[in-house]
Chains A and B, each alone.
Chain A
Amino acid sequence: MISFTSFPSKPQATSYASSSQYGESKRDLMDIDDEDFESQGSKLTCPGDGHGTYIDDDEVIASVAGTIERVNKLITVRAIRSRYNPEVGDLVVGRITEVQPRRWKVDAHSRQDAVLMLSSVNLPGGVQRRKLESDELQMRGFFEEGDLLVAEVQAFFSDGAMSLHTRSLKYGKLRNGQLVVVPPILVRRLKSHFLTLPCGVDLILGLNGYIWVSKHVKESEQEGEEGFDAEAVYSNVNDDIDEPTRTAISRVTHIIRVLTSHFIPLSDTLLLEAYEWAVEHESDVRDLLQQDFGDALVSSVVSGK
């Protein structure tokens, strides 16, 4: 039941350089940049340097590992491992940290807490309704500290904090599942971030790296299909979840962890393939915790691409 292992003898900090996917793409970008500058015929002397760079001997050097982005003469490096950089329209999963007058503060894995205004949520009694004082008084009835929600980035405040909204029937409070946190860079922009796996599991891939894995809710049973049912939307009570679904949820969670620990960006097809492979080869969910099993999963899924 309990066994002790040793720490790996060598630090694995060099694995980025040796992993082919990153080593090569970075070199490519660098080459393109060099050619660009040379074809312009001017030697790079004093370019605008952006985030993630510094100047050493008239050369711009990246101070973080990441991808290069250029806007005219401004060069920035976007770090591989960083907090989430929000953009308008992004789908995010967040957790309420504070209830304030007419707004909620939401932790969304970003540099600052996001803001969810009372005016940007759906309230009982129809979508188009004025916000009343009574709504302000019962804000904790909608969302309270610790609650998870899925929302969309609506706009930015002047200080760079993002403003969220949940004014769609797809958005709102989350239940019936568990949260996985992954590096935000590994969640790609997909056609839809609401995935349904055939094993009866729904996935919400927040672009901020928060992933919600939950029991599948049938389209017809989703709250607010006909009319808006505030009771159900803001409910804190889980449905009954049977054993196979629970197992499937923890299996999907493990697969996400294994893939992201190998730094593989997530996509719907990849997750599906990995799930099928895992069901085929494992005898128990716990197998996925073993290193060799995880490695085998990754190599088979990646080679199959």
Chain B
Amino acid sequence: MNSTLLSKAEKSYIQAGLQSTPPSRGDGRGLADYRAIALETGVAPLANGSARVSIGRSPHDGAGGTEVLAASKLEVESVEPGSAGVEGGRVSCSVTCSPAAYPHLTSSALDDLQHDLTALLHESLSHPSLHPRNLGILRGTKHAKAWVLHLDAVVLVDSGNVCDALFMAARAALCDTRVPRTRSVEYKARRNAGAAAAGGGGGVVGASAAAKGQGDMDVDEEAVSGFDTRQIQSATDFELPDYWDEGEPLDGRDRWPICVTLNVVSNVHFLDASTQEESATPLRLLLLFAFESTQSVKLQGMRTLGSSELTSSQLADLLKAGEKYAREIWQSLNAKLTEESLAKIKERNKF
């Protein structure tokens, strides 16, 4: 994927270092060591959820390091034949690479790269098994509506291991995402003409609060009208109640996958390759793991990049190792996200 020029001598220097005993890397890291990762959520004020991740940023002057920004935006979409809308909502992802991150690439090569990364992110995050349950708004009627979640990621700097950073940022942004509360609204012909002074011959709006707490905001509730206590049968529209928070968190926070890139050089593998190491690596194995809880793990996706090949027994070992690394990332990422959300609550309580 990355075509940084490297001389043969540099390549063999890196490879020989990885294969020597004990293995050594250009910057003295161990094979399974990540560079320092910085993470921040809520960076885009207009998005429903956003995050910025930087891997390997220099602690001294903040230069260098792979940097990815991800933001999610919810949009209402009507579900009807001919439109892209799906009942229960859908997730759509896109990745943009800043030309500044890849100065050596032509614009068509950059498009290819963006397309590859978009396909990777979209195919894994919009998979039905990960679908969040609270993206529907109005269901079943001919006016059905649903949220479409756009997740846009921008690669600002690439200094190696962009896939891991991409999925970390995507995961953090999705965990940061809040879905606005909605309640259904129905239009009815007026039954009691003398009841309401405000006339106009139109209709009375019967509104129902659907804030049952969790999940099913699309289920219609009792009308609060003093005159009419029947069930709302045909919700035609919805409204957004004003509420103190921005909505409830997107469902399925724990499920969003973690990506681990295993860089394989003959019989050793290492994590978090720098740009130079990436160009010296013949094969990279991308593993996507989704953790429902600490026990259950699902392999959500797998890709091999590069020209080299793997034996199946090697693959089995790599899978086992990858799961271990992914679990560590998952735990520390969750800890960091909890810390971020606590900080946000503290920030809000100041006012």
Residues of A at under 8 Å CB distance from B? 1-8, 12, 95, 97, 145-148, 173-179, 236-238, 241, 243, 246-247, 250-251, 253-254, 257-258, 261-263, 284-286, 288-291, 294-295
* Nearest CB of chain A from residue B108's CB, rounded to whole Å: 19
* Nearest CB of chain A from residue B346's CB, rounded to whole Å: 14
Please state if B328 and A2 are interface contacts (CB–CB under 8 Å): yes
What would 13 A/B residue contacts be, using CB atoms closer than 8 Å?
A2-B329, A4-B37, A173-B9, A243-B22, A251-B28, A254-B27, A254-B28, A258-B60, A261-B58, A262-B60, A285-B28, A294-B60, A295-B60
- Flag whether B26 is at the interface (Cβ < 8 A): yes
Please state if B333 and A250 are interface contacts (CB–CB under 8 Å): no
* Nearest CB of chain A from residue B34's CB, rounded to whole Å: 5
Q: Which of A1, A4, A5, A290 has the most CB of B within 10 A?
A: A4
Residues on B with C-beta less than 8 A from A294 are 59-60
Q: A146 touches which one: B6, B29, B59 (CB < 8 A)? A: B6
Residues on B with C-beta less than 8 A from A289 are 27-29, 35-36, 59
Please state if A237 and B9 are interface contacts (CB–CB under 8 Å): yes
Complex alpha-carbon distance, A240 and B114, angstroms: 40
- Flag whether B63 is at the interface (Cβ < 8 A): yes
Residues of B at under 8 Å CB distance from A? 5-10, 12-14, 16-17, 20, 22, 24-30, 32-40, 52, 54, 58-63, 276, 328-329, 332-333, 335-336
Main secondary structure of the interface of A (DSSP, over half): mixed
Residues on B with C-beta less than 8 A from A173 are 9
Residues on B with C-beta less than 8 A from A258 are 60
- Count of inter-chain pairs, beta carbons less than 8 A: 122
Please state if B28 and A286 are interface contacts (CB–CB under 8 Å): yes
Complex alpha-carbon distance, A5 and B5, angstroms: 32
Complex alpha-carbon distance, A176 and B60, angstroms: 28
Please state if A1 and B7 are interface contacts (CB–CB under 8 Å): no
Residues on A with C-beta less than 8 A from B12 are 236-238
Please state if B5 and A146 are interface contacts (CB–CB under 8 Å): yes
Least CB separation from B25: chain A residue: A250
Residues on A with C-beta less than 8 A from B63 are 261
Complex alpha-carbon distance, A173 and B329, angstroms: 41
* Nearest CB of chain A from residue B326's CB, rounded to whole Å: 10
Complex alpha-carbon distance, A238 and B35, angstroms: 27
Least CB separation from B343: chain A residue: A6
Please state if A1 and B34 are interface contacts (CB–CB under 8 Å): yes
Q: A5 touches which one: B9, B14, B38, B60 (CB < 8 A)? A: B38
* Nearest CB of chain A from residue B219's CB, rounded to whole Å: 38
Complex alpha-carbon distance, A254 and B154, angstroms: 29
Residues on A with C-beta less than 8 A from B30 are 286
Given A179-B10, A257-B58, is A4 in contact with B17 using a C-beta cutoff of 8 Å? no
Complex alpha-carbon distance, A288 and B35, angstroms: 12
* Nearest CB of chain A from residue B151's CB, rounded to whole Å: 20
Residues on B with C-beta less than 8 A from A243 are 20, 22, 24
Given A1-B32, A3-B332, A284-B28, is A290 in contact with B9 using a C-beta cutoff of 8 Å? no
The 7 nearest A-B residue pairs measured at CB: A285-B28, A175-B9, A261-B60, A291-B59, A4-B336, A236-B8, A146-B5
* Nearest CB of chain A from residue B158's CB, rounded to whole Å: 15
Residues on B with C-beta less than 8 A from A6 are 38-40
Complex alpha-carbon distance, A95 and B279, angstroms: 15
Residues on B with C-beta less than 8 A from A237 are 9, 12
Complex alpha-carbon distance, A294 and B61, angstroms: 11
Please state if A253 and B26 are interface contacts (CB–CB under 8 Å): yes
